[in-house]
Amino acid sequence: MREVPHDIQSRFLFWVAFSAFTIAACWTGHHHFFGVGYFRPVLATETRIFDIGEVLPDAVVEVELTITNGGWRSLQVAGVRTGCASCIRIVSFPTEPLRRNGTGQIRITFDSKSLSGKVRRSILILSNDPVHPVYSIMVDAVVRCEKEKEANGNE
């Protein structure tokens, strides 16, 4: 039996290991060979800071946030959490998987009771995106104080 030279044997083992690594990386979606998110679900929004605008005191405003799956695999939203349970309430979020380039709506209510001035609160979206399993969105609002409300009411 003929002996294989050491350099050919080591090259062969290198290519076997490299191929196995490449296949595993492509299958799990943890790679950047073809661009970010080629084989995995990717949670995306138009903006990371959502501005509601000016809100009256003691008002409840309902808002819809649009999320998109920018990847190839289905995106599953596991849940949505808020940083302020008293001022932001989650009404609904997509429970069905979002297919490639699919969109879904997250509906929230913003309660301005006991808030005044410029307010920023966070919303956390939990999903199966392996790179960003917890996606943060900031919600901005300007709550007019009672003095401004009275001054504008007298005009």
In the chain, where the domains are located: 1-31, 43-154
Indicate yes or no: pTM above 0.85: no
Find out whether 99 and 83 touch, Cβ atoms under 8 Å.
Answer: no
Q: Give mean pLDDT, residues 110-132.
A: 91
Where is pLDDT greater, at 10 or 152? 10
The pLDDT, as a whole number, for residue 43 is 93
What is the rounded CA–CA span in Å between residue 82 and residue 126? Answer: 11
Find out whether 93 and 78 touch, Cβ atoms under 8 Å.
Answer: no
CATH classification of 43-154 is 3.40.50.800, yes or no? no
Assign 51 a pLDDT band (cuts: 50, 70, 90): very high
Q: What distance lies between CA 104 and its chain's CA centroid?
A: 12
Find out whether 130 and 78 touch, Cβ atoms under 8 Å.
Answer: no
Candidates 28, 106, 122; CA nearest to 71 is 28
The pLDDT, as a whole number, for residue 29 is 54
Angle at 132 between CA 130 and CA 134, to 5 degrees: 115
The pLDDT, as a whole number, for residue 12 is 84
Residue 155 has pLDDT above 50, yes or no: no
